[in-house]
Structure 1
Amino acid sequence: MQTILVCDDDKQIVEAISIYLAGEGFRLLKAYDGYDALKIMDQEKVDLLIIDVMMPGLDGIRTTLKIREKSSIPIIILSAKGEDNDKILGLNIGADDYITKPFNPLEMVARVKSQLRRYTQLGNIGEAGNLDSIYSSGGLVINDDTKEVTVEGEPVKLTPIEYNILLLLVKNAGKVFSIDEIYTSIWNEQAIGADNTVAVHIRHIREKIEINPKEPRYLKVVWGVGYKVEKQTSLEDPRK
């Protein structure tokens, strides 16, 4: 049973989150300020922390900073609508995701499970794999040693050509590749009439890794130029 620590100065929010997550089989611990959270983490094994940004005493930002000095557990910050600067600051100093209040309980549960899957997956990679062979962008992870592709911890089956195209783009996340560059790199021959060939494979990849291929999160077109995989950290759960 995995243990989740919920920290918020609003006891009703703590109780509501605890009820939903307990119903999913998690063990819940409760704290009402940053000092409580740190004390509990010194005494208990915690697998994930949900913490409010704005709290009296030790707030969520400073608490996250202190936890990151000695722990890499997933941290999801809670923020009120409109606190965009606090969300960005939280992510920059080590939080893994955020939930905006008021939140959808199903979305909250999905985000918790997503972060726990990813943390477990990366832990296994660290123990059994070569980190130099791991490439990622947000929830999209490629293990080039095992040729495995996952999105938010869920395996994705690709053909060899699809795999090689995606690997090229993820290894160079943020860089735009023209159709001719993709074709030349993957097929190792001159790109003559390559537009349709590359476009078909890109479409198939999107259908496998995106929730909505028409509004892709990862594999994006740069009109008139080519394609790229967005360079990103975990902000949203593409499987929600």
Structure 2
Amino acid sequence: MSLTEKNLQNLPAASQNTKAAAGKDTLLYVALSQNPLTWLLVGGQKNSAMNQKADSLDATDKSSGNWAKKVPGMLSWTIDYDGLLIQNDDSLTILNYCYRNRKPVFIRQEYPDGSYRTGWANITGYNDSNASDAIQTLKMTLEGYGAISDIQTTDAATIATPTLSVVSKATTDKTITVTPTDCTIRSLIDETEQPLIANTDYTFAEGVLTLKGTYLSTLAVGTKTLTAKFAAGSIAITITVTAAA
């Protein structure tokens, strides 16, 4: 029997009704600035386990019988971070600086649907592993400085006008408005699947995507498409480059 393309396309398919979420799509961000609030995706991350607990207080007295009575005390949270040690990554530079200078960092843990938590944390452990037969890795412990927020929900990202027109070799920055303003861009890639570099080729803060003139000036005359990837989907951005007069 010779299988056709139609046979292959009609193979039995498993039901895709699971509500489980892939852990790889939960991401950790660190704040670069507060006004405007600018988030940087932590580079090389593999796991950012969130642990929440309450102190256990003993409320047992002589009338308690044979069983102890425990009540919750102060609440606390930590993140046990595990990832690759990426050289010259801005987010890791911030985390290392804050660790060495005993400064709290403002973090955002974002889930696959775009919902998120935020909070201040101090870095109390910063450990890199550099065995000769393995990839260099980084483990950190971030301990909450106050509360971690409740989970905040956000709508899917939209761009009303996903087009730009630029003049070849011009070095002027161009902006695009994204809603809602509390979403994040997970990556921005070009037609060859090459990612643009955050804080170098573009910035994103509070719903404003800024494509840097230094990047735009490298584009050849013609049409170029960038893909902005968000938690809940992707949006194509078309850039038309015209020759200078």
User: TM over 0.5: same fold?
Assistant: no
- Per residue, is there more helix in 1 or in 2? 1
Could you tell me the TM-score, scaled by structure 1's length? 0.24
Q: Which has the higher strand share?
A: 2
Which structure would you say has the larger RCO, counting Cα contacts within 8 Å and 6 or more residues apart? 2
Structure number, greater radius of gyration: 2
